Structure 1
């Protein structure tokens, strides 16, 4: 066995602020929300400078403190009728609560409170800016389950528009995607559905029973198709121009969804994980917590990991309803082992230069083996400043790649 490495997996090569790789990745992830008024350089760097990396509570403490300060500012602006200032401040408060959430374990009292504070600030931010950000709060219903979502509208004209639906990554929430692709979609005349479904972190807060133990292949298929059913029932959605995308582990969900629903005009996984078990086994080579050990050995090694890596994996256990990390590969074998040949829609595979080799290999394999007549593969690079996992250090580049490809594929340009 290779030397044990107490970290998740390679998602970046160049650190910006923190020595811990996973901590620095998350810092850069939320720094990306600078786009679309989701963070301030001064606020987020001042907060980072206050963090004592030797104290596991410090990240949460400092980001909650900043979130509460900015949320109070938003409340004051709203009382005075300054809706744009209030909306921007609420969106920044969302980012800081969301950052704090990354450092809270599921068994902590703050886990649920901080999650819902982040969601509340996001919702209030969009509502305060409703004239600039047309949107509706929607619900995807399936078999008695109700999953919350936000339907971002290209405009309020009621015209049928191309529409994107997004899958969340392993540790992302639906609100994160407003900053990644949501506002960019509106700017380009696309609708965009953000939602927290089964096997998503946010989904379990609303539907605690929606875990791997209850959502097998049949149930997941039903929930994903219900989201599309909801979209095509809307008069402002063009059913012939539905786009499916997802980032990180959402790439695995995207690949799965593309094989069980033929209503998509384009499929864009970022990154295209066609075999989640293969990805997890790759991680297991240097971090043997997923296979080949006992539950006790897995948990013991997990508890030795740096705080951010440990917290990410414990949250993954929680939202999936696992008993331990040993459950991940068997569950993924049922759901996220995709036959690429079943994908026939136009296909764009996206990945980044500084990701681990599995992301590159799976992207290249998926590109080669999908049955799509129209297909492309694009790697974003260090030279472009877009080399981190899912281009979190350069959303502008990620948006340009995806939407330019879509505009050309669909022969679509928003009216001036």
Structure 2
């Protein structure tokens, strides 16, 4: 049986579609980087962890220690090793001897928070597992201690929202980060940052916020239904009309932060499956100045279907949902499914709030931009990756549909994994170089005139 290789799902770039069980795969010579685990799912998360070291969200030695001790294919081993490291780092953060300056405190708490998130990554098969909430409470508390020590402390906010399509009221969870004051104290460009299928807004700090703050940009990260905090606190799965989650964030910037936000340089970023979410939202939010899709997502359902054998897809498309569900569940119960596939199935069912794989597939058919792409009227950066494994070919389709509104950039070599995992510097310098071209900073004289007029 090789069903559900699809479950690379929306964020796991190094998982290979030819490895459908937990047996070792010998294709590492095709990888542009040294692999830290023969388990592609575990390797991917280790790469993420190493990347976070750039911004104080991990330490290299401890991450390599986890890599040494992981048992490939064993979710319990994975969670336990990260949990041990998280608690050890938390104890260091709480030691008064280590609290002699804000940088020391901040980096230790950022790392502890990140390790708790890694421990949570693969435990979503059992929705009633208490660790799903207790680990999240730990990561949130640690992260809040870290952002409290920033030169301008991060601020958690909650924004009321409504999905008319789903007849649903919910609360957007967001974190506001303000750039340090410049000498002329003029309004700053601002990034609105959304993640995708499973990563948290806390992860976005390390991917996008820290590099942007260093360049003088404000940032706000946010989560809507289906994403980690909203999913846990409000029991809400993903919604396709993502503009419902974004518009309240833009409203907040225009009303509550108008004194520090340059509304002529307001940019939306969507990461991973967030490439769909951001594109969909941008079609309904004309106040945005530009959008960045890392990477471009045209249609979710074909991305699932192309990773399944034709006979299994035929079961689903013929409407034989019970047989489809039974086959998928049996394979998952066998413990022979590759961890990349098992993660995708477990997390996908949880985040879309269904116990039925066929319902998961049916919901995925609503996540496409073909009907709204013509409404996106702004410059769009579309990221692609040489070793993209899930949205393979879709960034090109998105770019072609946008025409001269789009800039397609293909990341190659060691930056060529999905979402440029492990190559954060190349990702951020590329997107900021693009932003400098399409939204150049105004001349000082012009800024002074605007300030005087206001």
TM over 0.5: yes
- Is the 1:298–1:326 Cα contact (8 Å) retained in structure 2? no
1:76-107 per-residue CA deviation (whole Å, 9 max, x = no partner) reads: 14884433211111111112111111132333
**How far off its partner does 1:216 sit?**
5.9
Match of 2:165 in 1: none
- Is the 2:5–2:307 Cα contact (8 Å) retained in structure 1? no
* Segment of structure 1 superposing worse, 35-44 or 360-369: 360-369
- Is the 2:243–2:282 Cα contact (8 Å) retained in structure 1? no
Are residues 1:321 and 2:348 paired? Answer: no
**How far off its partner does 1:4 sit?**
4.7
Q: Secondary structure at the match of 1:264?
A: coil
Match of 1:229 in 2: 251
**How far off its partner does 1:335 sit?**
4.0
Are residues 1:394 and 2:426 paired? Answer: no
- Is the 2:116–2:139 Cα contact (8 Å) retained in structure 1? yes
> Kindly tell me: are residues 378 and 81 of structure 1, through their superposed partners in 2, closer, same or farther at Cα, counting changes over 3 Å?
same
**How far off its partner does 1:349 sit?**
0.7
1:144-186 per-residue CA deviation (whole Å, 9 max, x = no partner) reads: 5223211111124664221111221212111111111111111
Are residues 1:403 and 2:432 paired? Answer: yes
Match of 2:158 in 1: 139
Instruction: Give aligned pairs, total.
Output: 403
Residue 301 of structure 1: which of 331, 336, 340 is its match? 331
Q: Secondary structure at the match of 2:366?
A: helix
Are residues 1:112 and 2:112 paired? Answer: no
Match of 2:23 in 1: none
Q: How large is the Cα RMSD of the aligned pairs?
A: 2.6
1:181-212 per-residue CA deviation (whole Å, 9 max, x = no partner) reads: 1111111111111122112133211211x225
Are residues 1:283 and 2:314 paired? Answer: no
- Is the 1:136–1:150 Cα contact (8 Å) retained in structure 2? yes
Q: Secondary structure at the match of 2:212?
A: helix
- Is the 2:73–2:338 Cα contact (8 Å) retained in structure 1? no
Between the aligned partners of 1:90 and 1:414, the Cα distance in structure 2 is 39
Match of 2:362 in 1: 330
Where in structure 2 are there 5+ consecutive unaligned residues?
15-29, 163-168, 318-322, 445-454
Are residues 1:202 and 2:201 paired? Answer: no
Q: Secondary structure at the match of 2:37?
A: coil
- Is the 2:194–2:270 Cα contact (8 Å) retained in structure 1? yes
Are residues 1:93 and 2:93 paired? Answer: no
- Is the 1:102–1:312 Cα contact (8 Å) retained in structure 2? no
Match of 1:130 in 2: 150
- Is the 2:208–2:428 Cα contact (8 Å) retained in structure 1? yes
Residue 67 of structure 1: which of 66, 81, 86 is its match? 86
What pairs with 1:13-412 in structure 2 (closer than 5 Å)? 14=31, 16-53=35-72, 55-77=74-96, 80-105=99-124, 106-127=127-148, 129-131=149-151, 134-143=153-162, 144-156=169-181, 159-208=186-235, 210-212=236-238, 215=239, 217=241, 220-233=242-255, 234-235=257-258, 236-285=260-309, 288=312, 291-292=316-317, 293-303=323-333, 304-339=336-371, 340-356=373-389, 359-370=391-402, 373-382=404-413, 385-412=414-441
- Is the 2:39–2:339 Cα contact (8 Å) retained in structure 1? no
Between the aligned partners of 1:248 and 1:287, the Cα distance in structure 2 is 28
- Is the 2:7–2:340 Cα contact (8 Å) retained in structure 1? no
Higher RCO structure, 1 or 2 (CA under 8 Å, sep 6+): 2
Where in structure 1 are there 5+ consecutive unaligned residues?
none
- Is the 1:247–1:271 Cα contact (8 Å) retained in structure 2? yes
- Is the 2:291–2:380 Cα contact (8 Å) retained in structure 1? yes
- Is the 1:135–1:150 Cα contact (8 Å) retained in structure 2? yes
> Kindly tell me: are residues 414 and 53 of structure 1, through their superposed partners in 2, closer, same or farther at Cα, counting changes over 3 Å?
farther
